[in-house]
Amino acid sequence: MIQSVRIQNFRGHTDTTIPLERFTLLVGENGVGKTSAMEAMHLLPQMIGTNPSALFVSSHAVDRLVRSGSVGGLAVLFDGVDDGREWQLGLAMRAHEKTSSVMEACVEWRVGEKVGKVAAPGPKFDDLFGIIREVPRIVMRSREAMFLRLDASVLARPERTEEERPRLDERGGGLANVIATMLLQDRPRFERLLAAASAVIPSLRDIQVRRVPVDRRIERLMIVDGQSVIVPELTKVIADQVELRFDGTEWLPADAASEGTLLTLGLLTVLHQERVPKVVYIDDIDRGLHPYAQEKFIAQLRAVQAAVGDVQIVATTHSPYLVDAFEPEEVVVLARDKDRVVHARRLSDHPNKKPLEVLRTGEFWGAEGEAWVVP
């Protein structure tokens, strides 16, 4: 489990240390750096799972990730403990002064007394993709992370897959395929998912997957006047489509459901699928949820954590109703000082804890705000 992360010179963060629990909420004003903190935490897992040079392009070019006006490069340092052993894992990188390319990158780790380091200069940055796997498994398994940016329209669309074990992607693509696989191969898992979703959405009665024809655009190679030409063409394919049944309704296609229903179903499916990420980052976890459903939602996520055993969740919210479902030590408040430097402290570190004897966590946060975080 990650116990803390230190973020240096990443976007709006100069030097921010964020303590983490198994379930942590990041709260604070808009633009204070909650989402960018999770982006920084997710940076190393993305490097492991893709071609590094392909990752740092456009808005994610290193010179755009490095905090404006900072001296040196960006760095992200994790501290954690797994199987009773303490570990550290750090990533540092620097952009070329005249281009947006990576000038150099370095990954360091420590497990107990054992230490290691992997470094790559800019021209050989892709080499880091291969040799980074030398990092001890005890450290790397906790970096199997997913940053969810669920989109209701993506969750609702019919999907076709050739994968034997489909998984949801970060936007919710593949929901129909994952649920179809549960229905066919692991009915008890599906029943647990349905029970969890119904606990948050009481009017939900059942979920099914129907096979439907959809249009798919393909590219066909044709020879025209002796020249090879690629011609786009529409064809019909059979795909999976999620359907939902509520109190007093017949089966409805997923795109007829509310955004909150689809986002809830998507997140719960991520945590009920066969291979659950070790760390899940969720931006605006309360999006689309009625205030009275928010605590029920968190209760279901905690139940999944208890069943899976080692999944860790980091999320952001602006809802005091949702914060009520957390202990003060699970809520990390972010705030900026007059120099725009970000500070982070647990709500349990508030100098006056007496109001917590009568106020719920969300009420306490709403009453105290964020100013106390700044030294």
Q: What share of the chain is helix, strand, coil (3-state, %, to 5)?
A: 35, 35, 30
Q: Which amino acid is at 149?
A: R
Residue 331 host element (H or E): strand 331-336
pLDDT along the chain (375 residues), means of 10: 93 93 96 93 74 64 69 85 87 70 75 80 60 67 81 94 89 95 95 95 96 82 78 83 95 95 95 90 92 92 88 94 96 94 96 90 94 94
**Distance from first CA to last CA of the chain, Å, rounded?**
28
Confirm if 138 and 82 have CB atoms less than 8 A apart. Answer: yes
pTM: 0.88
Which pLDDT value is given to residue 347? 96
Q: How far apart are CA 297 and CA 113, in angstroms?
A: 41
How confident is the model at residue 110, as a pLDDT? Answer: 87
Decide: helix, strand or coil at residue 26: strand
CA distances (Å), origin 149, targets 39, 64, 68, 89, 168: 11, 21, 26, 25, 11
pLDDT for the residue 123: 55
What's the CATH class of domain 148-311? alpha beta
Q: Say if 2-144+327-373 and 148-311 have the same CATH topology.
A: yes
d(CA 183, CA 207): 10
Per-residue pLDDT, 28? 95
Alpha helix stretches (DSSP H) within the chain: 34-49, 52-55, 62-65, 127-131, 137-140, 152-156, 175-185, 187-200, 259-272, 291-308, 320-323, 361-368
Q: Which helix (H) or strand (E) holds 89?
A: strand 85-95
If we measure between CA atoms, which residue out of 260, 375, 373 comes closest to residue 27? 373
The H or E element that residue 148 is part of is: strand 145-148
Supply the pLDDT for residue 133: 62
Coil vs helix vs strand at 354:
helix
Residue spans per domain, the chain: 2-144+327-373, 148-311
C-alpha distances (whole Å) from 237 to each of 51, 232, 241, 256 are 31, 15, 12, 22
**3-state class (DSSP) for residue 184:** helix
| Cα-based angle 262, 263, 267 (whole degrees, multiple of 5) | 115
What CATH number does the domain located at 2-144+327-373 have? 3.40.50
| Pairwise CA distance, residues 122 & 256, whole Å | 49
Query: In a 3-state reduction of DSSP, which class is residue 9?
Result: strand
Which pLDDT does position 93 carry in this prediction? 82
State the Cα–Cα distance between residues 112 and 115, nearest whole angstrom. 8
| Number of H-type helices and E-type strands within the chain | 12, 15
The pLDDT assigned to 364 comes to 95
Q: In this structure, which amino acid lies at residue 27?
A: V
Closest CA to 333 of 69, 24, 108: 24
- Residue 183 is predicted with a pLDDT of 95
φ/ψ of 314, rounded to 5, equals -125, 130
User: Which structure tokens are listed for 309?
Assistant: 């055993």
